[in-house]
Chains A and B, each alone.
Chain A
Amino acid sequence: MTSPARSADPIAFTTSPTTPDETISNIIDPRLKSQSLKGRKNEQVVLWKLYGSFHRHNTLLSMVAVVEDLDFMEKNDHLTYNEKVLYYMQLPHHVKLHVSAGQLGFRKAQRAEYEAAYQVSSRMFKQIEEKGLLGPNDKVELVLKDFGRGREAFLAALQGKEGSRIRPNIVRISDNTKLRFGGSRPKKLRRL
């Protein structure tokens, strides 16, 4: 493939004009390779997500960074257009923090209690602050799942003193509770 043909091709998305000595397309650019080996990644945190799962037995919170590789288009020239769209649709999520009631010493049925969930939430907010994860303009999305007792505790902690630092950064709240449409038969009713 010659360089004028590549530059004329509109799907190629070459940001910098290619010089004649780097025309071979199926060989990775040595500069990029050395960059990746050194571990210098040109990444940017697009937004943060705070996932909360509040089921019957436990409360789980995880702080996730949604990361975009700024050199993605240059590094992945071989990918098809649709594959590139899929990358931007579901950007890589990196878990930075995870707290659950069991980590704080709550055992067995105690994990399901309101108090445990409150402590889990306050621990999470404290760690976010301590590690300095959030900048002043960073965006946080809340994704909540299921309706255990921990959900009320989490929202109470977030609206109280503990969550005062993280609250202004929240840009969206969503509910991720899964509902069934048909499917297998659930367990039989418990008789106590």
Chain B
Amino acid sequence: MLRPPSMSIIQNRLLSTSRLCLNNNTPSTGDKSKSQAIADVDNLLNETSNFHANSFSNRSKDRMFDISVKHPRDVAKLIRVQGPVAGRSVDVQYGNFARSLSSMFSVIRSNKIRYLKKIQARHIPPAKLRKQKKREWWRRKFSLGFKELMAQVRDAKRRGY
């Protein structure tokens, strides 16, 4: 599998050396360059043999396989929790049960689990559901605005108006 890259390296280098030989085609330097090219090829072959020795000889097949295979227990621990519990679990930290309970409540509130459970219990016709959603949106908005107004009134009263 890892053979093609090394072969291509050899081919490239051989090509470059042959190009050098072609460029220096004057008769006086011909013999010299030829001997040099042969020496280069020998060096290159030595290098590649070293490359092979370093990458493969000290790694057996079994050892590589041992690293990749985990104990089934460890694999099972890494698999995500599925079903309704996923995303609705809270760990108790430092033995503080009350605090984890309150964070559990906040998870339930933010995901509207109780509300959804309630409206899913009985069938609501689509037109009614649409109106119900509008009504709920309006009431929520109104109560927010009213609270804000009351806060303003209280603030003004505190200042002596």
Residues of A within 8 A of B (CB): 8, 10-11, 13, 73, 81, 84-89, 143, 146-147, 155, 158-159, 167-168, 170-180, 185-190
Q: List the A residue with the shortest CB-CB distance to B90.
A: A173
Contact B90 A85 (CB under 8 A): no
* Total contacts A-B at CB 8 Å: 93
**Which of B15-23, B25-33, B81-89, B135-143 is near enough to bind chain A?**
B81-89
Please classify how large the interface on chain B is, using the bins under 10, 10 to 19, 20 to 34, 35 or more. Answer: 35 or more
Could you tell me the distance in whole angstroms from the C-beta of A79 to the nearest C-beta in chain B?
9
In the complex, chain A residues whose CB is within 8 Å of the CB of B72: 73, 81, 84-85, 87-88
- Where chain A touches its partner, the secondary structure class is mixed
Q: A177-B117, A179-B116 are in contact. Are A159 and B122 (CB under 8 A)?
A: no
Least CB distance, B148 to chain A, in whole angstroms: 30
Please, which residues of chain A bring their CB within 8 A of the CB of B44? Answer: none
Chain A, Cβ-Cβ closest to B93: A171
A11 touching B122 in the complex, CB below 8 Å, given contacts A85-B76, A173-B89: no
- Contacts A186-B121, A187-B123 given; indicate if A175 touches B97 (C-beta within 8 A): no
CB distance from B124 to the nearest CB of A (A): 7
Across the interface, B66 reaches (CB within 8 A) one of A10, A81, A84, A146, namely: A10
